[in-house]
Amino acid sequence: MTFVEVDENRLRQILYNLSSNAINYTSKGKIEASVCEKEKFVIFTLSDTGMGIPQDKWENIFEDSYQSLSQNKNSNEGLGLGLYISRGLARKMHGDIWISNSVVGIGTDVSMSLPKGVNQKVIPVSDYLYNNNNLHTLKTSHDSSSCQTGKTIMIVDDEPTNIRVLSMILEEKYQIIPAYSAEEAIDILKSRKVNLVIIDMIMPGMSGIELTEKIRTKHSLIDMPIIISSVMHSYKDIELAFKSGANDYITKPFSQDEIQSRVKILIQLTDTMEKSIKNEMAFLQAQIKPHFIYNALSNIVSLCYEDGEKAANLVSMLSKYLRYIFRLDQLSQLIPLRQELDIIDAYVEIERVRFGEKLNYRVYIDKSLIENNMMIPALLIQPLIENAIRHGIFNKQGEQTVMLTITEGSEFIKILVEDNGIGMSDEQIYEVLHGKKIGGVGIKNIQKRIESLPNANFIIDSEPNKGTKCSIFLSKDWVISLSKESE
């Protein structure tokens, strides 16, 4: 048995690059591998029946700037990085890679030399494959019934071999959806629930980076984790992946333990955040303090003696408000903007009985947002209105105004809740946003929820004795996608 003295992981990467290159440039025929010994080296040769390379280009293909002349429209033209990296790795291990023979239209032989190693005791391959402890590595069933977690992972790669390798690693615990292009992945996301996506960085047409950026316009880091995969491990590529919105970065060849661990951690993180969000909804519902209900009921009783019709209307509003609030059992639940406005109207009518003419509530909303059935996370606006009334204008004399404005811009939907109440200092704003101020109604809750939405932002602007403005900016693309999904 012949051994080579090399880094095992780097050798896998070289063999992966060489075989992938041969497959990409061989539309028909065969690919063969052979090994022989020559003095102190082991020579590995991979032969294909592809398009071949002109002899004056034999050295050029190992340059990092080489542009291929592939006739295969699905190949990654302009990227000879696989061979460039492979030669560099081989030379680092005191070997080399070169074109030993190539004829245009007939095929190419790529050879690699590696230093011979010292013989060691080995376990026969058959013993390893059929050992009970390793039998799970051979599992190849795609039956979704084997999925233990109920989670779905989409693997996006133009190379079927990569998808197959990742599928074999992950399919025991997760349901796998393959996508062989970025465009196919986008179509799948429109119709399927996906819990995590693994995307190849370099693909023909739309790259993995571009696909990640596109997904991030509709899905947040928490909502849909993304792992970028690549044969390259440069800091520049890793930085590019994270800037595009990826949660993690892995390199080929794939390590089974590493892939499984990274996927498990990301999915567990998502599950934890979802549980936290549900707890936040329970907290938000708990903001309906008993004294609010008692005050409303007391007002109703008083009105029964003075104005029966008005009392009946208030009972209807209170019933409507409570029914809406307690029916929303998931913070991630989306509701039409029109329904959120109904909740707000019911709440304001109840509070008007207590404040009388002092409370002036105004609303301006772009008509198109209502007509297009705009969807938003439940109870995103109502707590801001409640906070403006209970903590903004309650302690200020004279007529006070709370105004809700929702406008549509070129890239964002802006939701503005403003009042001319007592206002806050910069220190008080800091305490509210960091959960240190007691008595605020859901501001910290709102902030945390908005942070989990893609490309969303929350801003508070306030000045003592002049009032407060709370602004929410939602990505227009994200809002539109929600509205379409609800149709």
Q: Hey, do 8-115 and 287-486 end up sharing a CATH topology, with the first three levels equal?
A: yes
* Paired tokens of 357: 């003419």
Checking if the pLDDT of 308 tops 70, the result is: yes
- Beta-ladder partners of 421: none
What pLDDT was estimated at residue 276? 66
8 vs 290 pLDDT, higher one: 8
Range 8-115: architecture per CATH? 2-Layer Sandwich (3.30)
Maximum pairwise Cα distance, the chain: 109
CATH superfamily ID and name for 287-486:
Histidine kinase-like ATPase, C-terminal domain (3.30.565.10)
Taking the C-alpha atoms of residue 481 and residue 190, their distance in angstroms, rounded to an integer, is: 9
Amino acid in position 352? R
Highest mean pLDDT: which range of 208-212, 253-257, 295-299:
208-212
| Across 207-221, 237-251, 301-315, 376-390, least confident range | 301-315
Task: Give the tens place of pLDDT for each residue, 85-117.
Answer: 788 889 989 999 999 999 998 999 999 999 998
Instruction: Give me the half-sphere count of Cα atoms (radius 13 Å) on the Cβ side of residue 481.
Output: 18
389 and 451 in contact (C-beta within 8 Å)? no
Check: CB of residue 114 under 8 Å from CB of residue 39.
no
**Which three-class secondary structure state does DSSP give residue 176?**
strand
With 0-12 / 13-18 / 19 or more C-beta atoms within 10 angstroms meaning exposed / middle / buried, residue 367 is exposed
User: pLDDT tens digit string along 141-192?
Assistant: 334 444 566 899 999 998 887 888 899 889 889 999 999 999 999 999 988 8
Domain extent listing, the chain: 8-115, 125-270, 287-486
Q: How high is the pLDDT of residue 124?
A: 45
- Angstrom CA distances, 341 to 60, 224, 283, 324, 371, stand at 66, 29, 21, 11, 14
Handedness of CA 379, 384, 390, 393 (dihedral sign): negative
Q: Determine if the pTM surpasses 0.85.
A: no
Q: Residue 194: which pLDDT band, with cuts at 50, 70 and 90?
A: very high
Q: Closest Cα partner for 267 from 302, 217, 236, 226? A: 226
Please report which confidence band the pLDDT of residue 270 belongs to, taking 50, 70 and 90 as the band edges.
Answer: confident
Contact (Cβ atoms closer than 8 angstroms) between residue 411 and residue 427 = no
CATH 3.40.50.2300 fits 125-270, yes or no: yes
